[in-house]
Amino acid sequence: MLLAELGGIILALGLLGRLAGRYGQSPIPLYLLAGLAFGHGGLLPLSASEEFISTGAEIGVVLLLLTLGLEYTAAELVTSLKTHYPAGAVDVVLNAGPGAAAALLLGWGPVAAVALAGITWVSSSGVIAKVLRDLGRIGNRETPVILTILVLEDLSMAVYLPILTALLAGVGLATGSLTLVAALAAAGGVLFVALRYGRVISRLISHDDPEKLLLVVFGLTLLIAGLAQKLQVSAAVGAFLVGIALSGEVAEGARVALSPLRDLFAAVFFVFFGLSTDPAEIPPVLLPAAILAVVTVATKIATGYWATRRAGIAAPGRWRAGGALVAHGEFSIVIAGLAVAAGVGAPIGALATAYVLILVIVGPVAARYTEPAARRLAPRMARRGSAPAADPPAPKEPELTP
């Protein structure tokens, strides 16, 4: 049954991908709905392949972030972080605030407020990486700004997750601080190695045989991602930094060799998210989840617009960046899982599931249509005399080209 279920899932993914491609859409929403239909409480629950799909989903996120990291060098990453770090502060204020406020208004208490703040704050690097690739925007001027915000969020998880874990467990300040220091040291160490020894690593890994290159890069990425996760740093961050460390012909060869593997496991990741969701849990929390989703769609679009405006990017790129940041995913589910496992006396797991499911479906749609919608609305607002004043010229900042 394992082979039969896997074969059926992969065949269905291929057909759904072709259907989405025919209409020029991202296949992610269809993958998620398929997982929801055949997961726990769905039409035809799949049991034999569940463990394999769970592992495959983790690999999918790792490969998505690895191939995204291969597009950039360590120097470009550091320059981008130095240039756009204020966007990270705006991101926290605009997007963590609604989650914390919602938890307090619902009477869930301060610990649940910290957890829900993280759930609404962090966008999905995996989903957004897939959407940018599907829409052919990897080389766009606004993409480095989007990636900087995502990297800042993921790196911030090295600080946030140990703090949240300490709050949930009720441990002392000393234990929580030790965990935090270890997480920061791990993230900083990987980034230092990528910056200082990236060329050496590339020369050691380089090989003319695509098979050997694939095995070495894939194995190294899983190893670093696993160690990073063990040290309370995101596996996605570890994989992204491995991609950053590789450059030149090695990076190009790895992109080509890993692309089919990435596409397969990325599709499995989105299906797994749907499979792990029980449709019966969603209706009771659908209204508050939908309200929270509407609010954070607006705040994420505002975050992307502000960050790219500050970088001197034209209005179409600002709207594209805002729409691209809407999707939430893996981190939100991880945070909710920690809260549920710690016994937080609130239905935070069900709310997070409904919220993420809404945004992971809306996200690809927002990424594609936010800019065309803004372009169509602008003339109408101008005719009514309500168009906003033109933006003042933004300071010119260095453009990062992959």
Q: What is the CATH number of the domain that holds 303?
A: 1.20.1530.20
Note whether residue 309 is domain-resident: yes
- DSSP H or E stretch at residue 319: helix 315-324
> Considering its fold, how many domains does the chain have in total?
1
Position 84 in a domain: yes
Which residue, chain included where needed, has tokens 């809306």?
362
HSE-up of residue 101 (Cα within 13 Å, Cβ side): 11
The one-digit pLDDT tens for each residue of the chain (402 residues) are: 788 888 888 898 899 888 877 876 667 778 877 877 776 665 666 666 777 888 888 888 788 778 877 876 777 777 777 777 888 889 999 999 999 999 999 888 888 899 999 999 999 887 888 888 888 888 888 998 898 898 888 777 767 876 777 777 765 555 556 666 766 676 677 667 777 777 777 777 877 788 888 899 999 989 988 887 777 666 777 787 788 788 777 888 888 888 888 888 888 877 876 676 677 777 888 899 999 999 999 999 999 999 999 989 999 999 999 999 999 876 787 788 778 767 776 678 788 888 988 898 898 889 999 999 888 887 776 666 544 444 444 444 444 444
What is the Cα 46 distance to its own chain's centre? Answer: 26
Domain that holds residue 70: 2-277+287-376
The answer to whether the beta carbons of residues 336 and 108 sit under 8 Å apart is no
Contact criterion met (CB below 8 Å) for 245 and 223 = no
The verdict on residue 97 lying in a domain is yes
Is 352 contained in some domain?
yes
Evaluate whether residue 95 is within a structural domain. Answer: yes
CA distances (Å), 298 to each of 91, 95, 366, in order?
12, 9, 11
Which of 110, 103, 41 lies closest to 355 in space, CA to CA? 103
SS3 content of the chain, % helix, strand, coil (to 5): 80, 0, 20
Contact (CB, 8 A) for 147 and 119: no
29, 279 Cβ separation under 8 angstroms: no
